[in-house]
Amino acid sequence: MENTQEPTRSTSTSLQELREDQNSNPNVSNTQEMDLDTLYHRFISLEKDNKKLLKEKETLRSQIRALESKQKQLNSALHEKDQQLRHKEEKIQDLEKRVQSQNDESELHRGLSMLARPARLNKALDCSKMPNIKIFSGGSHPDLSQKIADRLGLELGKVVTKKFSNQETCVEIGESVRGKDVYIVQSGCGEINDNLMELLLMISACKIALASRVSAVIPCFPYARQDKKDKSRTPISAKLVANMLSVSGADHIITMDLHASQIKGFFDIPVDDLYAEPAVLKWIKENIPEWKNCIIISPDAGGAKRVASIADRLNVDFTLIHKERKKANEVDRMVLIRDVTDRVAILVDDMADTCGTICHAADKLISAGATKVYAVLTHGIFSGPAIQYINSACFEAVVVTNTIPQEDKMKHCPKIQVIDISTILAEAIRGTHNVPEAAERKHSPDGEFGECAPAWVVTVCLPGQSEVFSSLDTTESGGPSVRTDSGCALVTVDPGYWLLFCFPTGLPPSRQSARQFAATNHQANAPASGSHQHTEANS
């Protein structure tokens, strides 16, 4: 700054001298005086700008120094994280080495368990893309059908449904189902009678088109509440629906949380009654912060078993409400069995129709001292004044699964929340499709062995030794999936161990034939010398 001040002083001195010369010399013009003043003012402004630039320069230098210090800190932190990561990788490698060194004994038992059930394993691997499966959607719940197909990695089959002028339903399957494993998704909701007729026609159409198996996936089973005779001269409608499904050609039924478990006995075909309980437990733990202080409540005595199971899983208390009805869908009196003061009450039921029961139960629980009330239902039918009742009731939330479409009802009732159960249904379909071949042969009328299929025998041999150590009966395992002309298959499980599969021929092969088969294949499959030195205990 001292260097910049000296030129300023000298310049001002020279300007003063010029002015004195001008005063002494009258010949100097006025224009020259104005030019000198202008130059002087410009110089002063430039000097100010220079000072500002110097200050900004110092500010930038300080900011650069701060950024450099931060960069050093980040580099040091990154270096520490890198060292920690390397240390963890070394630990993992060390653990892997230890596990590998201790795996010799367990590998034989693991190989036995895998190869004693080869049909189930190979079937699942062969059907990873599931080329022989078809999924069709009825008109009741196409959104759920699409979610199930997406989770299975499949596309929905083409089907055309229309009505004639006299309101008769017409169904046309738009692609070949010959020899396919067909699943038809149709829930008992909306126009129930039309949807049920549509399902029956779709099943019949697939069966006539020579589908190998037709399974009806009915998330919400229609007429499930008419499972017994409450009065004289009334039908058991659930039994009639079961008969209609069987006569139409259904080979298998997949449903969820039947209103009464005895409905499964109405069928002469297999019925899988899935439970929404795992999805309900997950929702409770993730969305109710005070779930450890909750009490699970059944709004009637019929659901006591259901709430007891959920309460046991959550390790909380449960109770029920006794209700007395005078008319259908109308509750006259309710009695709470247990104290709920300062507790979070969770009402659990399989379905809610007009919601009169659960709304009255919520009011009863709040008046009894409950802090919050939730309702968790599998099937949210919500007919009649249900939405109005829920909006006026003191619920924190009314949680239902998507066995029935809820999009329109959620627009009018913000308390309704939906749990997606498409994963449960998709896995049930996957598991049904991947049935072991042995089970298919057993139930097939023209199967290779039929009902009198003999037991498979698995024999464990040590190559190069003359003794067969053990045999394993695998009648329920499905048997081996590999066949040879000689009736045996030799599979290496671990260096030094072979599994000899002896196929059923009425009687299992003798130990002498097993030893001969092992000796024949020893040269091609035997490991290096010394690698099969295992004790009898390890085998």
User: Which one has a higher pLDDT value, 325 or 439?
Assistant: 325
pLDDT at 100 over 80: no
135 sits in which H/E element:
strand 133-137
Does a structural domain hold residue 292?
Answer: yes
Closest residue by Cα to residue 175 from 147, 146, 195, 202: 202
Q: Are residues 145 and 270 in the same domain?
A: yes
Q: Judge if 280 and 270 occupy the same domain.
A: no
Query: Does 384 lie in the same domain as 358?
Result: yes
Could you say which of 274, 301, 323 is where a domain stops?
274
Q: Do residues 137 and 161 make contact, with C-beta atoms less than 8 angstroms apart?
A: no
Residues 367 and 405 in one domain: yes
**What CATH number does the domain containing 214 carry?**
3.40.50.2020
Spatial distance between the Cα atoms of 400 and 141, rounded to a whole number of angstroms: 15
Asked whether residue 256 falls in the same domain as residue 137, the answer is yes
Question: Whole domain around residue 268: which residue ranges?
Answer: 133-274
Residues 193 and 322 in one domain: no
pLDDT at 162 over 50: yes
User: What confidence category does residue 80 fall into, taking pLDDT thresholds of 50, 70 and 90?
Assistant: confident
How far is Cα 310 from Cα 297, in angstroms, rounded to an integer?
Answer: 10
Task: For residue 49, give both structure tokens.
Answer: 């700008």
pLDDT for 503 beyond 50: no
Question: Do 299 and 368 fall into the same domain?
Answer: yes
Instruction: Tell me which of 241 and 301 has the higher pLDDT.
Output: 241
Q: How many domains does the chain have?
A: 2
Mean pLDDT, to the nearest integer, of 38-62? 86
CA nearest neighbour of 133 among 157, 159, 151: 157
Tens of pLDDT along 443-452?
444 433 333 3
Tell me the C-alpha distance between 280 and 347, whole Å.
Answer: 12
Q: What 8-state DSSP symbol labels residue 141? A: -
In this structure, the dihedral spanned by the alpha carbons of residues 482, 487, 493 and 498, taken in order and rounded to 10 degrees, is -170
Taking only the tens place, the pLDDT of each residue in 329-378 is: 555 667 788 889 999 999 999 999 999 989 999 999 999 999 999 999 99
Q: What is the pLDDT of residue 201?
A: 97
Is residue 467 assigned to a domain? no
Do residues 269 and 303 both lie within one domain?
A: no
Last residue of a domain, one of 383, 401, 419: 419
Distance CA 475, CA 453 (A): 9
Is residue 289 located within the same domain as residue 269?
no
DSSP 389-458: HHHHS--SEEEEETTS--HHHHHH-TTEEEE--HHHHHHHHHHHHT--HHHHHHH-TT-SSGGGPPPPEE
- Among 88-102, 153-167, 247-261, 452-466, name the one with the lowest average pLDDT: 452-466
What is the three-state SS of 19-56? HHHHHHCCCCCHHHHHHHHHHHHHHHHHHHHHHHHHHH
**pTM listed for this prediction:** 0.59
pLDDT higher than 60, residue 34: yes
Query: How far apart (Å, rounded) are the C-alpha atoms in residues 524 and 471?
Result: 24
Together in a domain, 347 and 371: yes
256 and 161 in a common domain: yes
| 426 domain-assigned | no
- Which residue, of 404, 419, 434, is where some domain finishes? 419
CA distances from residue 1 to 4, 5, 168, 452 in whole angstroms, order as listed: 5, 6, 101, 110
Average pLDDT over residues 137-158: 96
Residue 490 lies in a domain: no
Element (H, E) at 104: helix 103-115
For the beta carbon of residue 447, count every other beta carbon within 10 angstroms: 14
182 shares its domain with 237: yes
Listed in sequence order, the DSSP H helices in 470-530 are 511-520, 522-525
